[in-house]
Amino acid sequence: MRLSRIFIPALLMLTLWAVAIPAPSYAAVSIGISVGFAPPPLPIYEQPPIPVAGYIWMPGYWAYGPYGYYWVPGTWVLPPAIGLLWTPPWWGWSGTVYIFHAGYWGPRVGYYGGINYGFGYFGSGYVGGRWDHGRFFYNREVNNFGNRRITNVYSSPVSGPPQNRVSFHGGVGGIAAQPTAHEQAAARERHWQPTGPQTQHFGSARTIPSLRSTANNGQPPIVTTNRAGRFNNAGVVAPRPQKAPRGRQPKKP
């Protein structure tokens, strides 16, 4: 009975999202933004607890706007349909400028520049969870459940690389990883664009002056939230002091 109370609401929410999103497309993931200098290093932070079963972690990243780079906090989001996973956005050096590649939903996680965002996104693929017969199961080693009772879990130790905070691929000081055959295949599959709450989250972050790197010197005061678009609630997480970076920050229920 307890399982049904947890799973059915999450499934209902996924169904509602599915009827509201646009059809999938093969659109390129690069949105054409190019900048002449690299984004700041990734901040070090803890993951807020998952709001409820059904949500998937979306790592934070540096975006670029009229006032320069600004931080888009990581958050928990609902996928647009059952079976989809999130490929994070990333910056890559083209030889003359840094080009932004937008994130997208798809049946497999694609290439995201080898960037180690942590919490299951350690540079290639995603080890924070998996779909199984229409249900999403969480790896307890890399997810923060807080005091929530999440029943669809498994334990798979992760030996990811140490978090180096590098936020871009290529160029001087950038990540040198190249896409695998699996990631190249994922790039050719159908993609779903970010959901409405994700888009709202991105837009809201763009308007908050304190998230701009020119105001925070690369240390945004809000690095994560527990729900998309909410920047003033108990789920907001500030950056940790820069001491010993960790490749992953496991939390157990």
Q: What is the per-residue pLDDT for 70? A: 97
The pLDDT of residue 234 is 63
Residue 242 is predicted with a pLDDT of 55
Count CB-CB contacts under 10 A for residue 109. Answer: 20
Q: Are 70 and 206 in contact (CB under 8 A)?
A: yes
Is there a contact between 103 and 81 (Cβ–Cβ < 8 Å)? no
User: Count H helices, E strands: the chain?
Assistant: 4, 13
Is residue 15 within 8 Å of residue 74, measured between CB atoms? no
Given this model, what pLDDT does residue 31 score? 56
CB-based burial label for 207 (10 Å; 0-12, 13-18, 19+)? exposed
Q: Which of 10, 7, 252 is nearest to 144 (CA)?
A: 252
Q: How far is residue 247 from each of residues 38, 44, 116, measured CA to CA in Å? A: 22, 10, 8
Question: What letter represents residue 188's amino acid?
Answer: R
Nearest by Cα to 87 from 132, 52, 117, 43: 117
Which segments within the chain are labelled E, that is strand? 30-35, 56-58, 61-65, 68-72, 75-77, 85-87, 90-93, 98-101, 104-106, 129-132, 135-139, 153-154, 168-169
Give the Cα separation of 62 and 56 in Å (integer). 20
Q: What angle do CA 156, 158, 163 make, to 5 degrees?
A: 155
Structure confidence at residue 163 (pLDDT): 72
Structure confidence at residue 206 (pLDDT)? 96
DSSP E strand boundaries for 177-247:
none
Mean pLDDT per 10-residue interval, the chain, length 253 residues: 36 41 42 88 93 96 97 97 98 96 96 96 96 97 94 90 88 95 93 96 96 96 92 73 46 42
Phi–psi pair at 85, nearest 5 degrees:
-125, 155
Single pTM value for the model: 0.83
**pLDDT score, position 232:** 80
The CA dihedral of 114, 87, 168, 116, to the nearest 10 degrees, is -50
C-alpha 31/C-alpha 39 separation (Å) is: 16
| Domain-wise residue ranges, the chain | 2-21+29-216
